[in-house]
Structure 1
Amino acid sequence: MANVRVLGPFEATVGETRADLGGPRQRSVLARLVAAGGDLVTADRLIADLWPGEAPPRAAAGLQSFVSHLRRALEPDRPPRTPARVLVTAPPGYALRLPDDQVDAWRFAALTDRAGTHLAAGEGDAALRAARAALAEWRGPAYAEFADLPWAAAEAARLAELRLLAVERRAGALLAVGSAAEAVPDLEAHTAAHPLREDAWRLLGLALYRAGRQGDALAALRRARAVLTEELGVDPGPALRDLERDILAQSPELAPARPALTVVTETVRRDATFVGRAAELDRLADAAEQARAGRCTLVLVAGDAGMGKTALTERFAGTLTGWTRAFGRAPETGGAPAAWPWAELLRSLAAGAPPDDDLAARLAPLLDDVPSGGDAQTGRFRLNLAVAAYLGGLAARTPLLLVLDDLHWADEETLTLLTELPGRLRDRPVLLVGAYRGTEIPARLATALAALARHEPHRLDLAGLSAGETAELLRAACATRLDAAAVTAIAERTGGNPFFARETARLLDAEGPDAAAREVPAGVGDVLRRRIARLPDAAQHVLRVAAVAGRDADLDVLADACDADEDAVIDTVEAGLAAGLVTEPGPGRVRFAHALVRDTLLTGLSQARRTRLHGVLAAALERRRPGDAAALAHHHLAWGGDPGRAVRHARLAAEAAEARFAHAAAADLWCRAADLPGDVRDRLDLEAAAIRASALAGKVEDARARRQAALPAALALGDPVVLARVLVAFVTPTLWTTHVYGTVDTEIVAAVGRALDALPAAEGALRVRLLTVLAMETEGEPGDTGPRAAREAVALARDLGDPELLAVALNGQYLNCYQDAAQREDRWEIATELRALAAGHGLPAYESLAHLLLHQTAVARLDLAAAAEHAAAGRRLSREYGLPLLEALGGWHRGLAHVVAGRLDDAEREYVRTGEHTSRSTVWNSARGMQMAALFGIRLVQGRVAETADAAGWLAEEWPHVGAVADIHALALHARGRTADAHRVAARAGRIRHDYLRDLSLGLRGLRALALGDRATAAAVHADLLPYRDQLAGGACAVVAIGPAAQILGDLAAFLDRPDEAAGHYRAAACVSAAVGSARWERDAAEALRALGVPAA
């Protein structure tokens, strides 16, 4: 993986090879992304930073070329046409996805922060290591190569300030561990170079005092007072004054920390991504306090492979101050000398505190591999006495922490000494920690554990990390950005095992999220296969059948499927429990400890055998659990040997899923059933159910595609009822269009007309839904087709008295209530009725929608407080009832609220986050387009429209049917100085539809007319926008607002030489701004009035 260094000479390496980063501007791209700390940097921002002032016409192409070259340099082994994993595209820009420890500036900042955290917690040794490691990263001034660029100067200043802080934290750590004299020289230099840093003077004074130089300490504080008085005209702060007073009084609080006897370097690698284990660390701390009080204390740490036993003991050791620490580890392979863990531990101790000659001679078998000679039993006894004497002597001087790891591999000599030492050191401050795998306890370890029980050890059994802790570990270990769903899935898949989670993160970085969700990381597979192979063959077979059954299985079903008695299956469960492969979630049930165990077993089965086992399990379930529709559907669908049974069980399971609002699960079942061979009428019935469930699950594109694919068969059948059911299956609660914006699907509209003409009179409910489809497919288009169909649907639904039908029809009517500005109140009434109807009749999807419609209309009415309440209620219901489409569509309010309040940076972050969320759930590119429009609105306010030209060009290509997109593009080109191109693009501007984007689109067109001096367009827009004068331009969609419509009307009137009208508009803009609480927009209105020479009120 790539490593990037900006502290000193700017460079990147891949492995041991220095990467060719190209010329100055190309290098600037990478440096700029490093400065962003892994966050997105928009393409427009990069262009502005690369070419301060005026960017060249082909700047965007140049940026893309730089990115392409950098990707090749940073990932030279990446296969062609595979996505980049280091310098990634993150619309609308780029980001650097590297772990913190792969970038020196990020590593430096994290270590400096860690030093401060350790200092605050009283962990001097850990703070000192972190501060020293941080300063070791510093090879020279940060971003020196780019010092003349504003972005680099700001980041370099930040890092330089962090370096000063790291110097001071190193000094504080030295004081904490009792090394005051060592801290003095650096602090003398530091205060001379930075004489205004009061905390540096405080540390210097304290260090001098603790080093026995009381007079020098007072002299240093006097120098500090003189500098502060001469340079700043101020007296020293309270910290310096208090220190001077305490030195004069020789306060006991200033006494130096007691130095440790020795610091022993651990023999195992420290884990850089340790998370969680707070309770276990607390218990270890309690044991340490017990030991410090003068009693040898034993702690036994048990856990599965990869559960973090070593990481826990290392992290704990790092928290101890004033202790001597040593580690020993039992080797996995044979051939090591006897008692090797003790030899490793004692040699590290002896390097810092050599034993006297007599004791060294007695310890020679462990310190120097010298044979003891004589009787073996006597030799072992004397050796163990010598070990106890040496350790007891060390413990008399400072508390002693001894850690023995991997005891499941320990030999007899290691375990014998372990069982003897607690008794021989009973009155010494010794903390003895032993760690082992609880699932791999050989007989000799079992005997040792029984012998140790009399010493009442503290026992820690490490379980998996919590979901939150696993998420923290994954985000620290994984270079790829993960969303919450991916983190949850991996946490479930790995069972919280830290090693498994890290290996999965590496697989994800290497091969992507699909592989991480499907495959078993190589290291994990090796561990699990070895453990499975230890089981008897019969047990392995039962576990493979259980793996096909699922994460959980019933023992009686397994026995039936394996043609075995239940006792044999129970024997398998007990063997699996002992091996840590399975658990017992309840009587008669077995569960794999984590999904990776199951996946490892499945990878050992051919597809043919897996399919056959699905059939075997389906038959067993038919006999044992005939009512378990979900399991029967799963196995029948996977087997495929009996399509009729598969469809029957899938239908039952899907209906049950829908009843509990599990729309995604229902959609999967319906879709799989619909894809099976069968009668065309039955298959179309299944297709209709699949379309409906997919839409409710937020898979709108899939739902519409399935409807389009089913339409020819439905038309060919010649049954208007079947055709209608396929067409109306796509009706889903929505506040945005559910087809390609600005277009009409004539094939769907024609099919709806054909179905309406032929539908029997008795099919009133289908007619309501068909009319609603017609209303939604034609909303915003010229003519009365959509509104008329919506009105007819509502009237018929009322006659039929069906609440759900009325909710469907009201949704269609709402979307067709944008013919003029006055219909804002009609929309409010429709949404209010829909809310009451849905809440009163248990229609959660439409209740959620109603709140979102009320939110939208409340923004148009300038009631942002009510809008916020309805947005929150709508999103809460959407989450509660599993409606991702509505949840995503309801996520824009916070961005709009930030815009109105003038918090533009917060607004940008919110729009980017919400756009990414919405794009996973909603239709085609509408989310991306809405996000781009929102960001354009922010750039408009910031005066940075020129930066958006490339993005606006993309928007114009993707949304050619949206009239105002050409206006956005023209505005951006004009801001870039490309006026001729702006006029050319403006000439292509299309019709502005009568929908939720009308007021926003008119406002943007008005701004374009002003920018290009287009009086004809200005006059036309003024007339069309006038009915929206008391609203925000963009208030109808409630996603983005570019200011009060009245402000734009005022600008248009002033441009058209109508000053009196302009003044009235600006006063109206001030009122609108005050109503929504936007001080910035109020100031804009007041300034416009002053420019006209008229008073604001």
Structure 2
Amino acid sequence: MNSKITYHQQVSYCGKTRCKKCREGVGHGPYWYAYKTTNGHTTRTYIGKELPPDVQNTQEVRTQLREAGFTNRALDLNTVVLRISVLGQFRLERRNADLQWQPVTDSAWQEQHVIRALLALLICTPGRKINRAHAIAMLWSRTDKEKASTNLNKLVSRLRMILEPTRRRQSARSATQVLRIEGDELILADQSRVWVDADAFTELLKTARILADDNVSTDADVASPLPSLTARERDPFLIVPVTPPSTALPEDAQVRERLLREAAAMYAGDFWPEERQIDWVRSYRQALKRDWLRLMLDLSDLYVWQGATSSAISTLDRLLANDPANEAGVQRLIVVLAKLNRRGEALRAYHRLCDILQQEYQTAPLEETRMLYETIRLGGTIPDTYSHLPTARKHVQPDPISQIGVDVAKSDAAPEGNDISALSLPNAGSGVEISPATAGTTAGTSFTISPPGLSIGRSHQSPLIGRAYELEVLRSLLQEIKQNARLQLLGQRRASGIPLDTQRRPQCALLMGEAGIGKTRLAEEVSREAQRTGWSVIWSRVYPQESGIPYRIWTDVLRKVIELVPGLADPTLRTPALLNPALEALQLQPLTALLPELSTSLVSVGTTQPGRLHGLPGQEHTASYRVRDTVRELLAAVSEITPLVIVLDDIQWADSNSHELLSHLARALYGYPIFLVVTCRDTELSHQPGHPLLEQVRHMQREHAIRALDIKPLTSEQIGLLVSHLPEPMVQHIQAQAAGNPFFAEELARTTPPVLPRTVAAALEQRMKKLSAPCVQLLGNAAVLGGSFEFSVICAMETDNDQVDEDAVLTLLEEALQSGVITEEGTGTRIAYHFWHPLLVSYLYDTLMSVKRNRLHLRAAKVLQRAYKGREEEVAATITHHLLSGGANPGAIAHFAELAANHAYALSAYAEAGHHYRMVIEHIEIEDRSNAQPEQLSYLIYLLERLAECTMVSGKFEEARHLYERLLDLSQAQGVHSPYEAQHLALLWGEIGWTWRYMANI
């Protein structure tokens, strides 16, 4: 076989422990290496930093230049003035005068959703231009035309000021404007000026496809296992060989691989994830998602062709984590694992696919996938090529407006090239059914889809993290209720309701926790699982303004229960299928007070008389009991037809009658297939005096009628997993601010720091509304002190005088403690108070006026100085923070910063010490800039020596070298007048030499 030599640049690592480049992952080089392949054996030869002159013009070097050209066209940011990220997180960044990217934090951009909608509309439109009439129809379809046109003009003006705030006076029709108007069209500048990650992602894929087409045309006579693009368009989920290549990767294939990898890295998540309702956003998101799925499959095929099986498995794992029902990805994963003799993992991958298809779509894998599984299970040989396997089916969530009776084979909307990934297949969780005769068939089969049923909860993009135990408890309760209902007969159920039955398993689950902790999400998850197994799910919630309406949370439940059974409300419409003794004997007259619509149907059939619907006057004292008993009989009767899961969301805002009805049903429905799931914010329940719901829960727990689950905050690691798609600095910020609250974490992930999300601010505002105005003011003053404070400090903060009404402060603190916004720690005289959540501190701090905030910071500094007189160094860092935030004079800041630095230096906290020494240097230079005396210069040299030492110990050798060089200049400027000064200069030169050595540059 003829040998072939290729040249590549690589970075090498020396492995020395003190080498900064290797320690930071930068390495040395890059250096050129020559790769020579002979008879399947490849050898590598070191060339150097430069190629030999006779190799400079070879085809390999031209390929390197060509590769850089292809890549930079989509990723070049040299001429870009705006950078917009819409994949995974909607973020806008401007280039400042120093050519650095800074996020846009304008209040209009952060708060006005319609501005982002217009920008997204321009991005989604081909050519980034849109007609005014089209924009109005998309954004204000239900608004008067003249008013909508005025709104659009204002919106364009606001968006232009956000995009180019320094060019507001320029004509709107200027060709240099980022957002300009030409006739009736709005035009956004192209990618060379306004860079959008979604367009860069599309451009990279387009270039990769062009390379694939060129490869097909030039290498048509060469037998290659890599499928061409035209073949992939005919069969986009083609399975390729797993055997490693026998020759080097073609040059265009190398470029294509790099483009695909860059595109995969570019796709950080769904397009504009914060918007889930707008149709054109959803369509564009789905189109990009389909491109990404095909990209991941193509990339895995390339890795397999090269023999990079670990990279292929990693790519397929990422694909299946996002879309577990992607059968094409599972097929490839099974083949790769089987080729690596990892049969157990391959079989488990197939079983996971079967479970997902059965649970989500009530169908089975394709016959080809089943044959592949049987081959591996029986220890057969996997063929070297699967190029003739048919297209694997792609399961996606159904569109809400999908038509009934979709014919996959004859539909005009079928995608070109057999790409059925765009079709909406059935979802069992949404009430869509597939006939068993058609399940698991290939294209050419007609699926008869029934209208979708109840859609439970919200559309979740993030997985459920950190709730495995709670979810398993709910699943076990659901399973036990189902098994218990099968074993017990109707008469036994009625006889088993004895008090304090220790053998009874509860049929009511209470999820308690703070707002946003995940109670509703857990209820949604168990509801979906119940619905997939044939349970009827009924969801009801109550709002604070409805707390005074009797039985408000139950009225929706009763209406939905009655709707489950045709003819239950109107006896004239009952069908033979519903004629069972329980329904025939059911009397709904006591419920007419809760459901007035029942009275008309009951009177029309002569079941009762209009004047006797609400009972006799002498029987009013038994009305409440009759209502509860009728509700129990109704639920029990309907559960004989269909098992019920009843979810009561936010029951803390319901009235006491609703609480008593819940308590009655939790005891009286034992043995029936009814599962009650209740969510409650425990922070909304008062303990002194005790809330009525807490009393009911205690009684139910004593009788084993309820299972209470306290939903705890997530750990910092779990929050990191929840937002792992974000950059690491952003993840660390969210971990610190969310404090284990998943809702707060997801909302923070959708905004740019330091802006507090509106949804989070609204939740915190709702919490603070329960407090009195003096208490809120006290907590606002305490927020200046940070996340915790002591009683003596907050007392002094309330006034500038020493005379403070401590009893009044204690009363306000007790109010805050009872509401749960602060917690108490410690005993005796050392009691500290902590805010319930870090974001509450930010919320209260932001509500203060700037002038008041500065005055409070200065007051806090004075209070701490008085409280720690004689030992100020203990709190010098905190005092320095308050002086800086309050705008104190530089001398005071420098004094306390030096105390903090010396204290940290004595504790060997060199990073903290260096931070404060740098602060001292900055402020003494501001203070003494005009009249620098020799003693002040000596003082500056002392501070610089301390700062350089701390920087050196912290491992920042280059920065330390610059500090020593500055020290050297200052020392030489003073002149050398004694041997001591000469020795000092020599030591400085020695430290500079050590920094070069530690940087491994000698």
Equivalent in 482, 494, 503 of residue 727 of structure 2: 482
Q: Given the alignment of the two structures, is residue 592 of structure 1 paired with residue 835 of structure 2, yes or no?
A: yes
What pairs up with 1:231-310 in 2 under 5 angstroms?
A: 265-266=454-455, 268-276=457-465, 277-294=467-484, 295-310=505-520
Q: Given the alignment of the two structures, is residue 635 of structure 1 paired with residue 824 of structure 2, yes or no?
A: no
Instruction: Call closer, same or farther: CA 1:43–1:617 in 2, change over 3 Å.
Output: farther
Distance across 2 between alignment mates of 1:573 and 1:349: 46
Distance across 1 between alignment mates of 2:324 and 2:883: 56
Distance across 1 between alignment mates of 2:621 and 2:747: 45
Give the aligned residue type for 1:482: P
Give yes or no for contact 1:264–1:326 (8 Å, CA) kept in 2. no
What pairs up with 1:291-440 in 2 under 5 angstroms?
A: 291-294=481-484, 295-320=505-530, 321-334=533-546, 338-354=550-566, 356=568, 357=571, 359=586, 361-362=588-589, 363=591, 369-370=597-598, 372-374=613-615, 377-396=621-640, 399-440=643-684
1:528 corresponds to which residue? 764
1:852-907 superposed Cα distances (whole Å, 9 cap, x missing partner): 74xxxxxxxxxxxxxxxxxxxxxxxxxxxxxxxxxxxxxxxxxxxxxxxxxxxxxx
Give the aligned residue type for 2:556: E
Give yes or no for contact 1:584–1:591 (8 Å, CA) kept in 2. yes
Deviation at 1:326, TM superposition (A): 1.6
* Higher relative helix content: 1
Q: Given the alignment of the two structures, is residue 617 of structure 1 paired with residue 807 of structure 2, yes or no?
A: no
Deviation at 1:284, TM superposition (A): 1.8
Instruction: Call closer, same or farther: CA 1:654–1:523 in 2, change over 3 Å.
Output: same
Alignment partner of 1:465: what SS? Answer: coil
Distance across 1 between alignment mates of 2:768 and 2:727: 31
Distance across 2 between alignment mates of 1:489 and 1:542: 27
Instruction: Call closer, same or farther: CA 1:134–1:658 in 2, change over 3 Å.
Output: farther
What pairs up with 1:403-802 in 2 under 5 angstroms?
A: 403-441=647-685, 443-456=691-704, 457-475=706-724, 481-483=726-728, 485-508=729-752, 516=753, 518-562=754-798, 564=804, 568-587=808-827, 588-626=831-869, 627=871, 628-629=874-875, 630-639=877-886, 641=888, 645-658=892-905, 665-676=912-923, 726=944, 733=952, 738=958, 751=969, 754-755=972-973, 758=976, 760-763=978-981, 766-771=984-989, 793=990
Instruction: Call closer, same or farther: CA 1:556–1:665 in 2, change over 3 Å.
Output: same
Give the aligned residue type for 1:555: F
Instruction: Call closer, same or farther: CA 1:96–1:313 in 2, change over 3 Å.
Output: same
Distance across 2 between alignment mates of 1:52 and 1:661: 62
1:794-814 superposed Cα distances (whole Å, 9 cap, x missing partner): xxxxxxxxxxx5xx64334x3
Distance across 2 between alignment mates of 1:3 and 1:269: 21
Instruction: Call closer, same or farther: CA 1:545–1:721 in 2, change over 3 Å.
Output: closer
Give yes or no for contact 1:298–1:431 (8 Å, CA) kept in 2. yes
1:38-63 superposed Cα distances (whole Å, 9 cap, x missing partner): 9x969998997999999xxxxxxxxx
1:193-213 superposed Cα distances (whole Å, 9 cap, x missing partner): 9xxxxxxxxxx9xx9xxxxxx
Give yes or no for contact 2:593–2:614 (8 Å, CA) kept in 1. no
Give yes or no for contact 2:87–2:197 (8 Å, CA) kept in 1. no
Instruction: Call closer, same or farther: CA 1:31–1:735 in 2, change over 3 Å.
Output: closer
Give the aligned residue type for 1:345: V
Give the aligned residue type for 2:868: R
Give the aligned residue type for 1:20: T
Alignment partner of 2:727: what SS? Answer: coil
What is the root-mean-square deviation in Å for CA atoms of aligned residues? 5.5
What pairs up with 1:944-963 in 2 under 5 angstroms?
A: none
Give yes or no for contact 2:701–2:707 (8 Å, CA) kept in 1. no
Equivalent in 121, 126, 129 of residue 21 of structure 1: 126
Distance across 2 between alignment mates of 1:573 and 1:552: 13
The count of corresponding residues between Structure 1 and Structure 2 is 611
Give yes or no for contact 2:517–2:712 (8 Å, CA) kept in 1. yes
Deviation at 1:677, TM superposition (A): 5.8
Alignment partner of 1:300: what SS? Answer: strand
Give the aligned residue type for 2:543: P
What pairs up with 1:993-1008 in 2 under 5 angstroms?
A: none
What pairs up with 1:899-1048 in 2 under 5 angstroms?
A: none
* Higher relative strand content: 2
Alignment partner of 2:730: what SS? Answer: helix
- The TM-score, its normalising length taken from structure 1, stands at 0.47
1:99 corresponds to which residue? 270
Deviation at 1:346, TM superposition (A): 3.1
Instruction: Call closer, same or farther: CA 1:578–1:491 in 2, change over 3 Å.
Output: farther
Give the aligned residue type for 2:126: L
Instruction: Call closer, same or farther: CA 1:466–1:311 in 2, change over 3 Å.
Output: same
Alignment partner of 1:333: what SS? Answer: helix
Distance across 1 between alignment mates of 2:264 and 2:978: 55
Instruction: Call closer, same or farther: CA 1:296–1:98 in 2, change over 3 Å.
Output: closer
Deviation at 1:402, TM superposition (A): 1.4
Deviation at 1:299, TM superposition (A): 1.4
Instruction: Call closer, same or farther: CA 1:309–1:297 in 2, change over 3 Å.
Output: same
What pairs up with 1:841-856 in 2 under 5 angstroms?
A: 849=998, 853=1000
1:182 corresponds to which residue? 435
Give the aligned residue type for 1:502: E
Give yes or no for contact 1:325–1:400 (8 Å, CA) kept in 2. yes
Instruction: Call closer, same or farther: CA 1:267–1:156 in 2, change over 3 Å.
Output: closer
1:631-663 superposed Cα distances (whole Å, 9 cap, x missing partner): 233234434557655433322222333456655
Unaligned runs of 5+ residues in structure 2 are: 1-83, 89-116, 130-188, 218-260, 274-281, 294-320, 328-348, 364-393, 403-414, 485-504, 572-583, 600-612
Give the aligned residue type for 2:758: A
1:1039 corresponds to which residue? none
Distance across 2 between alignment mates of 1:579 and 1:92: 50
Q: Given the alignment of the two structures, is residue 127 of structure 1 paired with residue 309 of structure 2, yes or no?
A: no
What pairs up with 1:59-138 in 2 under 5 angstroms?
A: 95=266, 99=270, 103-104=285-286, 112-113=323-324, 127-128=360-361, 133-134=396-397, 136=399
Instruction: Call closer, same or farther: CA 1:95–1:380 in 2, change over 3 Å.
Output: same
Distance across 2 between alignment mates of 1:323 and 1:539: 48
Answer with 594-603 or 41-50: which moved more.
41-50
Alignment partner of 2:512: what SS? Answer: strand
Unaligned runs of 5+ residues in structure 1 are: 6-11, 55-89, 140-154, 194-203, 208-261, 509-515, 684-709, 772-792, 794-804, 815-848, 854-994, 997-1097
Instruction: Call closer, same or farther: CA 1:310–1:273 in 2, change over 3 Å.
Output: same
Distance across 1 between alignment mates of 2:906 and 2:960: 31
1:20-73 superposed Cα distances (whole Å, 9 cap, x missing partner): 3229998999999769979x969998997999999xxxxxxxxxxxxxxxxxxx
Higher relative contact order (CA 8 A, sep 6+): 2
1:399-455 superposed Cα distances (whole Å, 9 cap, x missing partner): 432110111221233223212101221222332121111111264434543443434
Distance across 1 between alignment mates of 2:926 and 2:751: 44
Instruction: Call closer, same or farther: CA 1:361–1:16 in 2, change over 3 Å.
Output: farther
Distance across 1 between alignment mates of 2:955 and 2:216: 42
- The TM-score, its normalising length taken from structure 2, stands at 0.51
Distance across 1 between alignment mates of 2:906 and 2:209: 50
1:832-865 superposed Cα distances (whole Å, 9 cap, x missing partner): xxxxxxxxxxxxxxxxx5xx74xxxxxxxxxxxx
Give the aligned residue type for 2:894: V
Give the aligned residue type for 1:589: A
